[in-house]
Each structure stands twice: as structure tokens, then as C-alpha cells.
Amino acid sequence: MERIKTLKTRSLCKSAKNGGCGECQTSCQSACKTSCGIANQKCESKEKKSK
Amino acid sequence: MIHSYKLGGLNIVIDVFSGSIHLVDDVAYDIISLYETKTREETAAEALRLHGGEVTADEIDECLDSVETLKEAGQLYTPDIYGDKADTLKAKTSGVVKALCLHVAHTCNLCCSYCFAGQGRYSGERALMSFETGRRALDFLIENSGSRRNLEVDFFGGEPLMNFDVVKRLVEYARSVEGEKGKNFRFTLTTNGVLIDDEVIDFANREMSNVVLSLDGRREVHDRFRVDHAGRGSWDRIVPKFKRLVEARGGKNYYIRGTFTHMNPDFLEDIKTMLDLGFDELSMEPVVCPPDDPLALTEDDLPVVLEQYERLADLIVSRREEGRPFTFYHYMIDLEEGPCIYKRISGCGSGCEYLAVTPDGQLYPCHQFVGDEKFRLGDVWEGVTNTEMQAEFAASNVYTKPACEDCWAKLWCAGGCAANSYHAAGSVNGCYEYGCKLFRRRLECAIMAEARRMLADE
């Protein structure tokens, strides 16, 4: 029986090496305007698959 | 640091600093929690005491092996490796401007009593932005955007459609220069809907990457605050217009965006009204106002609001399973291709990569600081001249906020809203604890709903 199922997630540690292109949306720009979070932001890096 | 919680029939373990998420059974749930602070032997003994009737000592041992494998793989108990280089990480994404909130109209055809913008005037005089000022703002953005290609401009107010001609001319100007400048403008229109007509619909659906349509949900909730200057509610006037706009939008993004207050902490009913009206891309935000305002959410409201978020997540899961999906802004979460660590540390970008521009071309850190003179950063002609204030925003990141130090959600909220922090605690490095409580519950709900989706798609 599988006691632990690990979801596919982006590795934050790896993204420290290659991330930071800055092409992503500014955090509260397009919707909420009153409470910021980055959980719903999308990565827009052209090379995100390697990041 | 790990964060473990049970929600929506799932036991969820978040490994904060790697971003890994594990779904576990009850035995593993307790073992992972225990093993964070205890030795392997102590953990095994305690787990056997808790679950001896369900599992054998050998099974507990196997589970501990799995936990240690995940730890070695950097997916459990990952240490914080970002704190001492947070400044460097943020610096990589700073130094350019990539988004403007363009206040094309400091006036409004509604008179909503809860408006954080003071009925559109931001504590100042009524004003409309001229085309020349707007064009200079776009040039300022291009000139200061470095190598960034995607530039965002939100037509904001007040009510931006009260200055629609200028909006159209500014979009036309941006389109005429973006190719030669190597830029891609993404426009957003935030509107109360009163002035929407066929021309606006055609224009918005052609040129706007996103439209944000203000609707609070139930007619009586909406019309309590969203009234015109004669005190008449606007629901009946705007809902048919929003429907027409969305129907004609052809799948492009939009948000029906509501505000909830102390008067309707049961905001799920308003979400359901939006769904019944046929809208399926939704956002609902807690009101922004001083704590002594009668509309401010209270401590008594908190458990109600938190429960509403849970029920909303359940509704998202059940509607998806029924083939009637909808999105809620705060529950849109991309676990596989979400933001990198730079974004997660840097926060909202206000005062640096994101600026607000008033009708007369003044620059502020964001729309929520407009009207507070001490936050004025400069103007679109001279650029940022209040470099001391900008430096304060540039230096702010999730690791400069003492209240975030032990918070499991910090790499998901990125330190939160600078304006909320300032208004609640007097500093952009302060903490708006009420907002944090809402955020953490929303995040737990969002991850649960997304995990349920991933399981269903397998």
C-alpha cells in the first residue's frame, strides 16, 4: 500500500539556479488589486521545462 | 519546515523550502510530523503507540525508510537555503519597470461607500488623464523595461471608461510602437460596467488581455454599496452588459470580481449567484478599509469566512467532477510550472517593477498608495526621484518581514501586499495578520483542490 504519494511540483531549489527571467505577470496586476499572493502566478520563462 | 493539514478528504504535507507536496495516509502523516523533531527510534515508538492496531512495527519501519528517502532527495525537511541570499535573488528581477496601473480617470459614475479609492478621487480632485500624459507613461514604461518583453498596463480608476477615448488612443499608440521596441503590451481594463456598450465590448475583446468586471454577487449585496450618485443600485444595469461582454469574449480571460465585507461574510452565496448568471472566471476579495470602519471584517467574521473558503474549494471540486468547472482567482495554482524562487521571494513588485500613474503623471508605488503624498516617487517625465522611498520598496522581500520568519506560507504569498502591511502595521515590512489568516486558509484550499484534480486526472 502506498502511504506517501508525492505530487509533481516544480523544485524551488533548482529554480534558484536558473529562474528569475522576470517575464511573469506582476503579482496583483490583473485581478485582485487588494491582496497579493504569487501562488496563482504562471511562470512565463521560455525555458521553464529546464528550470 | 513542513506544514501538514487535513482537508477535503486528503492528508497533505507541504515541504516549504523545496515546494514538494505529499499526499499521505494517517500513519505517514503522524510519522512525518514526529520525525521532524524526534529520532527515528522515538518516532517509530510513538507511531506504534498511535497506530499499533492498524500497522506492524515493520510497516512503520518501511514508512520511515520512505520518509528518509524523500529527505535525501530534497523533498522533505528541506532547509531554508534562500534567506542569506534573498537580496541577491530579488535584485535579479528588480531594476526594471514592467507594469503600470494607469489611473486614466480619478472620477467615477458610481459612489460605492466601501471604495478604497475614495469614490475614485483618491483623496484629491476629480481628474482625467490626457492622451499626452498617458503616452508619456507608456514611453516611460518602454524606456525603463530593459530587456523585458511582456509589459502590462491596467486601465484603472475611478472608472476608466469615463475616459474611453484616451484609453483607445493609448492602446493604438502602444500597438504602433511595440513591434519596433520589441515589446508585447498586455492590457487590462477594470470597470464597473455602467458605460459598457457595443463599442466597448468590441474594443475590450479585441485589445484587452483581461477584463476585470466589478460585481459583488447577489443583487441586494451589490446594490447595498454599488450605487450611483443618486443612490440607485447598479446591478440591473450592469449584469446584462457583463453577460454580453463575456459571451462575446471568445474564451479570452476575464474576472467577475467582487468585494465582500462585514455585511456579507457568507460570500459563497455571492459566488453562487455569479455562477447562476453564467460567469465562470471569478474573484472575490475581502474589503480594504480601516479596522474601525463598520464594513471591516471582524474577528467574529473570521471563522465564517474561513469556512466559506473551504466550502468554495469543495464546490470547485464537485463542479469540476460534474463537468461544470469554474475558476476562482485565489485557487488557480500551478504546482508543476508555477513561479520560481525569485518571484516567491520578491513579492508584488510594487514601487519597483510595478508603479501606479495618476491622471497628471505622478508615480506611486501602487494604486493603493495613490493620494498619500509621502509615497509619491516622481513623475513620468523625470522618472523616479524619490529614490529613498523606492529603495525601501526595493529592499523589502519576504525575508525582511519579521512576521514571515516562521510562516509556512511565505514562499506562496511572497510577503503579501505592501499596502496592506503599511496600513495595518505602519511599515511595508509589517504584517496584516488578518489577511495572513485568510491567505493561509485559501492556500490550503487551493492546494487541496488542485491535488484532487491531479488525482482525478490520473
Q: What is the ipTM of this complex?
A: 0.89
Flag whether pLDDT at A16 surpasses 90. no
A27 confidence band (pLDDT: 50, 70, 90): low
Task: Give which of B154, B216, B257, B340 to mutate to test A binding, by max A Cβ within 10 Å.
Answer: B340
Helix axes B301-321, B433-457, angle to 10 degrees: 20
Average pLDDT score over chain B:
94
Q: Which of A33-47, B82-96, B319-333 has the lowest mean pLDDT?
A: A33-47
Say yes or no: B91 contacts chain A, CB-CB below 8 A: no
Flag whether pLDDT at A51 surpasses 60. no
pLDDT of residue B343: 87
pLDDT of residue B197: 98
Distance CA B359, CA B126 (A): 9
B111 confidence band (pLDDT: 50, 70, 90): very high
- Which residues of chain A have a CB within 8 Å of the CB of B209? 30
C-alpha cell at A36: 497579493
CA distance A46 to chain B (A): 11
Q: Which of A33-37, B87-91, B360-364 has the lowest mean pLDDT?
A: A33-37
Task: Name the DSSP class of B350.
Answer: B
Is residue B338 a contact partner of residue A42, using CB atoms and an 8 Å limit?
yes
What b/e sequence results for A13-46 when a residue is b if at least 16 CB atoms lie within 10 Å of its CB, and e otherwise? bbbbeebbbbbbbbbbbbbbbbbbbbbbbebebe
The model's pTM is 0.94
Helix axes B433-457, B418-425, angle to 10 degrees: 150
pLDDT of residue B134: 98
Asked if the Cβ–Cβ distance from A40 to B343 is below 8 Å, we say: no
Is residue B425 a contact partner of residue B407, using CB atoms and an 8 Å limit?
no
Nearest CA among B64, B68, B70 for reference residue B20: B70
> Is residue B211 classed exposed, middle or buried when 0-12, 13-18 and 19+ CB atoms within 10 A define those classes?
buried
Average pLDDT over residues B407-431: 91
Return the residue of A nearest to B66 by Cα. A4
CA distance A36 to chain B (A): 5
Q: Are strands B253-260 and B208-214 parallel, antiparallel or unpaired?
A: parallel
Is residue B155 a contact partner of residue B190, using CB atoms and an 8 Å limit?
yes
Q: How many CA atoms lie within 13 A of B162 on its CB side?
A: 19
> What proportion of chain B, given as a percentage, has pLDDT over 90?
85
Distance CA B97, CA B411 (A): 23
Say yes or no: B422 contacts chain A, CB-CB below 8 A: no
Flag whether pLDDT at A31 surpasses 80. no
Q: Which of B128-132, B355-359, B422-426 has the lowest mean pLDDT?
A: B422-426
ω into B8 cis (within 30 of 0): no
Nearest CA among B412, B327, B310 for reference residue B10: B310
Return the residue of B nearest to A50 by Cα. B337
pLDDT of residue A47: 58
CA distance A47 to chain B (A): 11
Asked if the Cβ–Cβ distance from A40 to B330 is below 8 Å, we say: yes
Q: Which residue has the cell 513623475?
A: B379
- B289-328 residues touching A, CB cutoff 8 A: none
Cα angle B163, B168, B172 (rounded to 5 degrees) comes to: 150
Asked if the Cβ–Cβ distance from B257 to A28 is below 8 Å, we say: no
* Type and span of the H or E element at A22: none
pLDDT of residue B122: 85
CA B91 to chain centre: 22
CA distance B132 to chain A (A): 23
pLDDT of residue B42: 98
Torsion of CA B7, B13, B18, B19, to 10 degrees: -10
Q: What phi and psi, each to the nearest 5 degrees, are found at residue B193?
A: 90, -15
A50 confidence band (pLDDT: 50, 70, 90): very low
Greater model confidence, B18 or B289:
B18
CA distance B335 to chain A (A): 5
Asked if the Cβ–Cβ distance from B343 to A12 is below 8 Å, we say: no
Taking only the tens place, the pLDDT of each residue in B261-293 is: 999 999 999 999 999 999 999 999 999 888 899
Distance CA B369, CA B363 (A): 10
Nearest CA among B151, B346, B142, B255 for reference residue A44: B151
A49 confidence band (pLDDT: 50, 70, 90): very low
Of the candidates A1, A24, A34, which has its C-beta nearest B343's C-beta? A24
Is residue B153 a contact partner of residue B207, using CB atoms and an 8 Å limit?
no
Q: How many CA atoms lie within 13 A of B58 on its CB side?
A: 0
pLDDT of residue B65: 97
C-alpha cell at B299: 474577528
* CB-CB neighbours of B176 under 10 Å: 9
Say yes or no: B268 contacts chain A, CB-CB below 8 A: no
Average pLDDT over residues B69-95: 85
Asked if the Cβ–Cβ distance from A4 to B435 is below 8 Å, we say: no
* CB-CB neighbours of B177 under 10 Å: 14
Average pLDDT over residues B103-113: 94
Average pLDDT over residues B151-165: 96
Return the residue of A nearest to B458 by Cα. A7
Q: Which of B240-249, B317-326, B421-430 has the lowest mean pLDDT?
A: B421-430
Distance CA B156, CA A48 (A): 31
Q: Which of A25-34, B318-327, B411-420 has the lowest mean pLDDT?
A: A25-34
Q: Which residue has the cell 502602444?
A: B174
- Which residues of chain B have a CB within 8 Å of the CB of A20? 89, 92-93, 340, 342-343
Distance CA B178, CA B192 (A): 29
pLDDT of residue A25: 81
Say yes or no: B339 contacts chain A, CB-CB below 8 A: yes
Asked if the Cβ–Cβ distance from B354 to A26 is below 8 Å, we say: yes
